[in-house]
Chains A and B, each alone.
Chain A
Amino acid sequence: MVASAHASPSTAPISITLRVWRQAGPNQPGKFVEYPAKDLNPNMSFLEMLDVVNDELERKGEDPIAFAHDCREGICGTCSLVINGKPHGPHRGVASCQTYMRSFADGDVIVVEPFRAKPFPVIKDLISDRGAFDQIQQAGGFITARAGSAPDANAIPVPKDNADLAMDAAQCIGCGACVAACKNASAMLFVAAKVSHLGLLPQGQAERDQRVLAMVSKMDELGFGNCTNQYECSAACPKLISHDFIARMNRDYIGATFRQAFRPKSLSTAGGA
């Protein structure tokens, strides 16, 4: 068993055919174009395979396939390919950049598309604009604490369970695969992860109600769809963020809605001196 664990992975080269979505620009028609990719080392990553294909295209003076990427280690959330109908490719809990060619067989036809949703318009080829996520964050995804105003970090203990759960939610890399995978193009998983991360911590309580109301309202305004609890999002999520956070956000949102409706208003109108 130990020996088999060490057996070095097969390096027999494979050849595949790519069917890639090519689209010159936003609002332009796109189509699938086939590219052969031959003699690939199965240990190369999917993006490295695209690099190789692109080098070949560039050599011929053809426009390389545009695809988003940066860290190439599954943390920045830039890469965003739908590979054979699944955001981020065949494996669970990994990003596109962590997909390796050993997951495919010699002779496979691999269909590659951008993340799609109305709020994620395609910019070019396999790149879509996910700026909507930033807008949701700007609406409330923060704790207001200006530099220099913080108490000692240990002044507010955080129960380990809460800290762990908050970290589970905070791991979201903002890739948008949840939206891409959801039949409704709903951003619930992303927003829930954000809301839960801050809402689980004592530091996040002061703005908790306001945060969830503002972020959900921004999410709706941006034209994301409505969740029907299908959990495709968490299944496609490279960080396997749990849809339990969606339930948590639903509760928070409804609670905040009612609290806001019945909370007495301060009658003082006096401003600061």
Chain B
Amino acid sequence: MASLDSKIPSGPLADKWRKHKTEIKLVNPANKRKYHVVVVGAGLAGASSAASLADLGYQVTCIVFHDSPRRAHSIAAQGGINAAKNYQNDGDSVHRLFYDTLKGGDYRAREANVHRLAEVSVNIIDQCAALGVPFAREYGGLLANRSFGGAQVSRTFYARGQTGQQLLLGAYSSLSRCVGQGTVKLVTEHEMSDLVVVEGQAKGIITRDLKTGKLHRWSADAVILATGGYGNVFNLSTYARGSNATAAWRAYKRGACFANPCFTQIHPTCIPVSGDYQSKLTLMSESLRNDGRIWVPKKKEDCKKDPNSIPEADRDYFLERIYPSFGNLAPRDVSSRAAKRMCDEGRGVGETGLGVYLDYSDAIQRYGKQAAARANLQNPSAEKIRELGEAAVAERYGNLFDIYKEITDESAYKTPMRIYPAVHYTMGGLWVDYNLMSNIPGLFVLGEANFSDHGANRLGASALMQGLADGFFVIPYTIGDYLATQKPGSRPSADRPEFAAAEKNVADMIAKLLAIKGKEPVNYYHKKLGKIMWDYCGMSRTEEGLIKAIGLIQNLRAEFWAGVNVPGSAETLNQALERALRLADFIELGELMCRDALERRESCGGHFREEFQWPDGECKRDDENFAHVAAWEYQGEDKVPLRNIEPLNYEFTKMSVRSYK
């Protein structure tokens, strides 16, 4: 049974972090040089932590499977990053950001962690501006903001529709500086394939060089995983194809607890699936919900009609109808389920009937009229207004409209976009304490790979915030608390048997996969897994479905290990092998997700159990029995894992029914 001490500092909520920072153990500068930290991942969390630790004086090795750190999946984030700057003077504050995030997460996150996140959010914006992130500006040269789901203030900073890209490039530039100065050793195209635990502490990793197939041992005083989320369990998701769970999963198998694996976020605004060849779903940024209106026809028979021909009276702006105060900006889980309900009622649009409209015609009119007024046009013609309006919309969202056009061959300026929810983010992840250390001492987990700050649902623009908070402002302090307990220079040699055993473990798995020489390609199994997960562990879940899914996944696992065909050898770049290794982990993780969903007999945030809902279809939480973190502990091959519990003690906030009406 793992011990799950959250190490939350005592004292008033707002003082916890400050107090903790003053009490935490420090490592003296001369000793920092002697500690070697391996950072796996160079997304926002990995790159920012590697650079910050190197700047502090630690020896850092940063390892990524990508060919360049700049390709991490963080690059794809579109919409923005939250921070409690209150630059808009609209009443924002650290407390409000804290509260929104906690409530958005449906009260399944730790208060102390979330408060810290809100506190450091302001420093993130300062830091990123200093790094040259070209945030959107107002004419006066000051920073601009927009609003995002789940908030009633404008606190989201953005860089056109490429906020993640720009933030990642900022973090990457810091990392590059350190690499150039020789303070970080950068290792690309290496995939972490095992964690090495020596005497109960994480002391190294095994990687596979993707170009040569060689296995490498890395010994370290501490290991940081910043390897991102595991949404690709679903095969179709908004994740990059390479995003994987391997690093986290192998750590789990070495004893790290996996917390709340079933908490996945389904994003409401993605481009619907079009065929079975599909390899990924594309997100249309949530920011589109700022100005776009979501609707379906009131009448089923209108669903296949040209949307522009459907009169206002026959349209159901269902989010505005059901959630009048948040309207189209209701949180993601709420909006996604509402869309699903509409489609389940038979009012979905598009060829598959799995889609709703996101309509910009009102916004085009509104912006067009404003622009005409600004340009002092008397009685502008309808075309002129449309033209000005389209230009204004293009300035704000042009790149998204372009993406939509490329993928669907339709112009969203002329006809409403069709959107549908898709898997987008995983709130679950490796369990960590307040110091971001897992239950294996010396193993730290940052960014999306940990479970810490978003509870059962993440608000838009909060993941980027968390990744950078963890990397720039939390880990530099908290890692010292662990390292100070380690004797400088005590890091084990990579020749120890633990390293050899871990390396053999990986080599065996690879050999086994290559030896199967079955009939079906890797993708065949991934598609099957994805379908099981989406059908039974997706937007809504039932006990019956989950039990069925667990059986199906176990069968699939057996089929995979008997029937997959992985051509080629282990000694060269072998993409089929890479996919197979990742899928092997996804299959096992998928089963764990179903187990977690099954055991959590309540609905909360992204986890919706049909058995537990209010009459209006909203989540029915069970705070009495489930106000806790479920942290699963590996018990060995084919054994049912152990479900540990970390209770969530809300000292300062009252858990209330989440309402966005």
Contact = CB atoms under 8 A, between A and B. Distances in A.
- Indicate yes or no for A touching B, C-beta below 8 A: yes
Interface of A: 1-3, 5-6, 8-9, 24-25, 41, 43-45, 47-49, 51-52, 54-59, 61-64, 66, 68-78, 94, 98, 100, 102, 123-124, 127, 129-131, 133-134, 137-154, 156-160, 163-164, 166-167, 170-171, 173-174, 197-198, 201, 203-204
B306 interface: yes
Interface stretch (B374-382, B432-440, B441-449, B514-522): B514-522
A153 B85 contact: yes
Interface in B260-319: 274-275, 277-280, 282-283, 306-308
Given A143-B132, A152-B126, 20 more contacts: A1-B414, A6-B414, A41-B277, A48-B279, A51-B279, A70-B66, A72-B280, A73-B280, A131-B67, A137-B176, A138-B177, A138-B179, A139-B180, A151-B130, A153-B128, A154-B87, A157-B140, A157-B142, A167-B160, A170-B159
B576 interface: yes
20 contacts: A2-B415, A8-B351, A51-B277, A59-B520, A70-B241, A76-B75, A77-B70, A77-B71, A100-B406, A102-B409, A130-B68, A138-B177, A146-B52, A147-B52, A147-B472, A148-B476, A164-B137, A166-B134, A170-B169, A197-B134
Given A47-B279, A127-B573, A201 B134 contact: yes
Given A6-B306, A124-B573, A133 B173 contact: no
Interface string B416-444: 00000000000000000000000000000
Interface in B102-161: 123, 125-132, 134-143, 159-160
B505 interface: no
Given A76-B75, A160-B137, A145 B282 contact: no
B410 interface: yes
B173 A137 contact: yes
Nearest to A74: B403
State the 9 A-B residue pairs at the shortest beta-carbon distance, nearest first.
A157-B141, A138-B180, A150-B130, A58-B521, A142-B173, A153-B129, A145-B130, A150-B126, A9-B409
B143 A147 contact: no
B76 interface: yes
Contacts of A76: 71, 73, 75-76, 240
Given A70-B71, A141-B173, A44 B403 contact: no
Contacts of A124: 572-573
B51 A147 contact: yes
Contacts of B575: 64, 66
B277 A52 contact: yes
A47 B242 CA distance: 14
B68 A143 contact: no
Contact of A153 (B125, B411, B415, B523): B125
Contacts of B48: 147
B573 A57 contact: no
B408 interface: yes
B241 A69 contact: yes
Contacts of A159: 137, 141
B71 to A, nearest CB: 5
A213 B279 CA distance: 43
B278 A3 contact: no
B652 interface: no
Given A45-B279, A55-B524, A124-B573, A130 B130 contact: no
A142 B141 contact: no
Given A24-B572, A163-B136, A167-B159, A153 B126 contact: yes
Nearest to A26: B211
Contacts of A75: 75-76, 162, 165
Interface residues of B, number: 92
A53 to B, nearest CB: 11
Interface of B: 48, 51-52, 55, 66-71, 73, 75-76, 85, 87, 123, 125-132, 134-143, 159-160, 162, 165-166, 169, 172-174, 176-177, 179-180, 186, 188, 211, 240-242, 274-275, 277-280, 282-283, 306-308, 351, 403, 406-411, 414-415, 472-473, 476, 517, 519-524, 565-568, 572-573, 575-576
A204 B128 CA distance: 12
A63 B576 CA distance: 8
Contacts of A170: 134, 159, 166, 169
Contacts of B55: 146-147
A56 B280 CA distance: 19
Contacts of A102: 409
B518 to A, nearest CB: 9
Contacts of B188: 131, 134
A41 B278 CA distance: 10
Contacts of A164: 137
A138 B183 CA distance: 12
A197 B76 contact: no
A133 B567 CA distance: 32
Contact of A51 (B85, B131, B169, B523): B523
Contact of B523 (A43, A55, A149, A151): A55
B240 A160 contact: no
A139 B126 CA distance: 24
